[in-house]
Amino acid sequence: MRKRKHPDRPEPEAVPAPRTSIAAGPAAVLRLQQAAGNRAVAGALPIQRFRSQNVPADEVAEQARHGSAEALSEKNVAVAYVAEQGSEEAKPEKPVWSSGTQDPEQHAERIAVRQAVAGGARLSYHPREVEGKRIVRVYTELSPCGPCYEWLATRLNDAVVVQSTAPPHSQDRWEVQVPNALWRTRVVLLNELYGLRDQAASPEALAALVEARSAIVDVVLTASEWQRRCRSGNEAAEAAKAVDAGWNAAVARAREVVRESGRPAPKDVPAPVPMPMPVPMPVPDPVPDPVPQNVPVPVPQNVPVPVPQQNVAVPARGGNLDAWLAGANSPAVLTKKAAAPVRKGPALQIKKAVKEEATCLDCGKRVKVNKTGKLRAHKNGTGVPCRGSKYHLL
C-alpha cells in the first residue's frame, strides 16, 4: 500500500547529477543521502553491470605474455571470451596488449571488448543466450582502472564476468603499490619457469616446476587482501620482502632440479664376462675290462671382471638450459662482461663511450639509453612518469 503524502510537506527538490564520480568520497555520499534521499544517491552512483572476480592466472594470457617478445613488459594483457551463436562454449579471442600510455581508450580491456564487437559479438546479449554471438567473460591481468571500470559497466551485460589478478598501477596507495611491485617480480620469475619447462627431462623436474609456479600464483595480489593483512605501508613492505624471498627460493629449487634432470646418465656398465661352462671331453670307445678314468675339466681361474669407473666427469648438457643458468638468455639475470685481454707495454688511452640518446615515441622527450638498450626513467611534458618503451635513436 502506497503512503499518502502530507499536503503541507513540500516536494523534495531535484538534485542535478554530479559531473564527477561521487563513489570516490563516502562523506559526499552521506551528505547527498541526507540532503536528497536514497533515490538521489542511487541515481548518482555508477551501477556495476558486470561481476568482478579475482583469479590466480589465465592460461591464454600467460601464454601470450611468455611467448612474445615483450615477456617482461609492464603493459597489460587482456582476453575476451566469446560464445558463438547456438553454442554454449566460450572461446578466447586473440589476446591484446595495452599501448603503454596513460590514455584509457588504449587500455587492453577496452581493446579486447571492441575486438569482440568487431567480430560480431552483441554486448546486450546474456552470456547464456544462444540466439546470438555474445561476450561471456573478459580477463585482464590488471584490474580495470576507474575510467575503464565505468566504461565496462555501461556496456557489458550484467551477467558478464570480468576477471583480473593484480590491481591497476597506482602511485598513491600503499595497498596497491606493494602488489604492483610483487606483480613485476612475478612476471620475471614466471618467465624463467616458462623457459625451464622445455628443459625438464624427468617427472621430478616437472613436479618441481609446478610446485614453484603454485607458490607464486597462489599469493593474492588484490588491494583489499593486502589492506586486510597489513595495517601500514611499512608492514606491507616487510610482508612483501618475505613473499619475494619465498618466490625466489622456490624458483631456485626448481632450477636446481631441472639442471640435475638435464644431465646425461652415466654410460652403461659393461656386462660381466660369462664364465665358460665345463665342456665334457670325448670318451674313447669302451674297451673290455679297463676301468674308465675321470678326465679333469679345466676351469679358468681369476677371470678379470671390468669395474665401472667412479667419479667420471659428466659433460654439461648443451642447449638452452645452461644458457638460462648462466644468464645469457634470461633478460631477468644480469650477465658479466668478459674480462679484457691483458696487454703488455704502456697503457693505452681509453676513450669514454658517448652515451646514446634517443627520442621517446610516446612523449617525444629526448632521453638517454642505458647499457641494456632501454630508455632511462623520465617524465612527460605534464610531469607524469612516462612508461614508453619504444624510441628512435638520434
Q: What is the pLDDT of residues 92-134, one digit of tens each?
A: 999 999 988 889 999 999 999 999 999 999 998 999 999 999 9
In a domain, 93, yes or no: yes
Place of cell 571500470: 149
Number of domains in the chain: 3
- pLDDT tens-place string over residues 254-263: 999 998 887 6
CATH code: domain of residue 59: 3.40.140
In this structure, are 148 and 255 located in the same domain? no
Could you read off the pLDDT of 182-204 as tens digits, one per residue?
999 999 999 999 989 888 888 99
Residues 85 and 126 in one domain: yes
Tens of pLDDT, residue by residue over 348-359, are: 554 444 457 888
pLDDT at site 296: 60
User: Which of 98, 80, 82 minimizes the C-alpha distance to 90?
Assistant: 82
Rounded Cα gap, residues 156 and 58, in angstroms: 20
Q: pTM higher than 0.85, yes or no?
A: no
Domain assignment present for 359: no
Give the DSSP per-residue string, 324-362.
Answer: HHHTSS-TTS--PPPPPPP--SSPPPPPPPPPPEEEETT
> For residue 103, which of 75, 141, 70 has the smallest C-alpha distance?
75
Are 90 and 161 in the same domain? yes
Q: How confident is the model at residue 388 (pLDDT cuts 50, 70, 90)?
A: confident
Q: What pLDDT does residue 243 have?
A: 94
Q: Which of 46, 42, 24, 23 is nearest to 33 (CA)?
A: 42
> Position of cell 617480480?
185
141 part of a folded domain: yes
Domain holding 55, by residue range, is 48-166
